[in-house]
């Protein structure tokens, strides 16, 4: 069954960033095969359009429909689209079985669904940010994403990606997946998935099977230049994984685990499994860009540096009740912090241990003053 608004959908998707557009088109194609009728209600939204929407219910007639000003929505950067179902020729906004079926299709293409959010559920919304915060988007595209005549072909901008599938237009995120791929393919390792990397992937795919064994050209994997789970596993023998290490003090970042990580996750109201993975880093980034050093809510982009890492500043912003009333110290041994936010007896103990180990070449004690 052909979709009722096929041409409208393609027109709206064409304005998105290339990797988002391609993934959305694949999702729609699969939905069409499944007999679903989908309408893309919103793709790219310019800054001017965003401000018009924000004015509704405030300085202009109508009900308030958004709290986001220009630059505060991923729609402004071509990284999101909204949809609804078409049933009996009319728009349907019920989150029914067909709606959930399309959600699953989009998730397979790498989209994040607004219906999974905890604080505000946006059921029609999908986004593919690659881990970019809104602050980073504004820095990259100060006036929003501008589709060009070339944007329907080759991607000219790159988005951080820490999850499969990897494709042209992606670049290294926390996990350096693109660099690992390039190193495996023996091409230039620059962390950017461009045309050269894509062509190398295609050549490898058509010459290797799903077990990574060499085969005759054309007898291998589907040579689409996209590194999904099957291609990655054929290349590396296993899917990407994070090596977690128990951490007891800041900084906490991808690869950290333990009760402190669980405490952070509980504060952010996300799944508290005690493992600091990509999802936790993304949640931290979002929180940082919306809160200042005292933990107060501020406009998006006016908060802490959105690094996705919980350093001391972020820790005490998250847990202001733990902020010390007196100076604390950080003991640095050969450039690596060994004790942080410590008081006198712990500083002395750390220095004594460093000397006892007879391995330290340089010991520094840095005072941390808290206001």
DSSP of 88-141: TTEEE----HHHHHHHHHHHHTTPEEGGG-SSS--TTEEE--TT--HHHHHHH-
Any residues with CB less than 8 A from the CB of 333 and at least 6 apart, and which? 350, 354, 360, 362, 363, 364
What does the pLDDT read at residue 149?
40
Rounded to an integer, the average pLDDT of 15-25 is 90
Q: How far apart are the first and last CA of the chain?
A: 65
pLDDT band at 155 (very low <50, low <70, confident <90, very high): very low
Peptide bond into 165 cis (omega under 30): yes
pLDDT band at 105 (very low <50, low <70, confident <90, very high): very high
> Which residues on adjacent β-strands are paired with residue 367?
329
Rounded to an integer, the average pLDDT of 323-328 is 63
Any residues with CB less than 8 A from the CB of 341 and at least 6 apart, and which? 249, 250, 312, 324, 328, 329, 330, 368
What does the pLDDT read at residue 231?
96
What does the pLDDT read at residue 356?
59
0.95 exceeded by pTM:
no
Question: Tokens 């699969």 — which residue?
Answer: 30
Of 157 and 12, which is predicted with more confidence? 12
List pLDDT tens digits, range 212-257: 999 998 899 999 999 999 999 999 999 888 878 888 778 898 889 9
Residues 238, 260: contact at Cβ < 8 Å? no
pLDDT band at 159 (very low <50, low <70, confident <90, very high): confident
What does the pLDDT read at residue 6?
83
Residues 221, 163: contact at Cβ < 8 Å? no
Q: How many CA atoms lie within 13 A of 54 on its CB side?
A: 15
List pLDDT tens digits, range 46-97: 998 898 888 888 888 878 878 788 999 999 999 999 999 999 888 899 999 9
In whole numbers, what is the pLDDT of the chain averaged over residues? 84
Helix (H, G, I), strand (E, B) or coil at 315: helix
What does the pLDDT read at residue 154?
39
Peptide bond into 157 cis (omega under 30): no
List pLDDT tens digits, range 75-86: 999 999 999 999
Taking the CB of residue 111, how many other CB atoms lie within 10 A of it?
21
pLDDT band at 189 (very low <50, low <70, confident <90, very high): confident
Rounded to an integer, the average pLDDT of 117-146 is 88
What does the pLDDT read at residue 371?
43
What does the pLDDT read at residue 362?
61
Helix (H, G, I), strand (E, B) or coil at 60: strand
The pair of structure tokens assigned to 165 is: 């599938």
pLDDT band at 312 (very low <50, low <70, confident <90, very high): confident
């Amino acid at each position: 069954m052909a979709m009722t608004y096929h041409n409208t959908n393609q027109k709206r998707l064409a304005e998105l960033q290339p990797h988002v557009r391609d993934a959305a088109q694949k999702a729609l194609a699969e939905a069409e095969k499944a007999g679903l009728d989908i309408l893309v209600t919103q793709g790219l939204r310019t800054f001017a359009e965003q401000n018009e929407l924000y004015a509704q219910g405030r300085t202009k007639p109508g009900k308030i429909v958004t709290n986001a000003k220009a630059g505060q929505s991923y729609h402004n950067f071509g990284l999101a689209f909204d949809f609804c179902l078409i049933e009996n020729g009319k728009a349907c906004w019920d989150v029914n079985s067909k709606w959930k079926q399309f959600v699953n299709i989009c998730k397979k293409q790498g989209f994040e669904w607004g219906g999974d959010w905890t604080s505000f559920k946006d059921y029609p919304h999908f986004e593919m940010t690659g881990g970019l915060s809104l602050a980073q988007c504004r820095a990259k595209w100060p006036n929003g994403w501008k589709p060009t005549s070339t944007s329907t072909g080759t991607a000219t901008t790159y988005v951080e990606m820490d999850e499969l599938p990897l494709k042209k237009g992606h670049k290294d995120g926390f996990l350096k997946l693109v660099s690992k791929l390039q190193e495996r393919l023996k091409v230039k390792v620059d962390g950017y998935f461009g045309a050269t990397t894509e062509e190398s992937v295609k050549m490898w795919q058509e010459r290797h099977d799903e077990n990574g064994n060499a085969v005759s050209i054309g007898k291998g994997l589907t040579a689409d230049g996209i590194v999904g789970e099957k291609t990655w596993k054929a290349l590396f023998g296993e899917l990407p994984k994070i090596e977690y290490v128990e951490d007891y003090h800041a900084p906490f970042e991808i690869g950290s685990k333990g009760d402190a990580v669980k405490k952070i996750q509980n504060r952010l109201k996300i799944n508290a499994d005690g493992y600091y993975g990509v999802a936790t880093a993304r949640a931290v980034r979002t929180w940082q860009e919306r809160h200042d050093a005292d933990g107060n809510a501020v406009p998006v982009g006016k908060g802490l540096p959105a690094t996705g890492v919980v350093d001391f500043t972020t820790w005490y912003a998250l847990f202001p009740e733990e902020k010390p009333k007196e100076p604390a110290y950080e003991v640095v041994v050969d450039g690596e912090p060994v004790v942080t936010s410590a008081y006198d007896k712990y500083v002395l103990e750390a220095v004594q241990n460093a000397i006892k180990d007879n391995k330290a070449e340089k010991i520094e004690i840095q005072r941390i003053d808290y206001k």
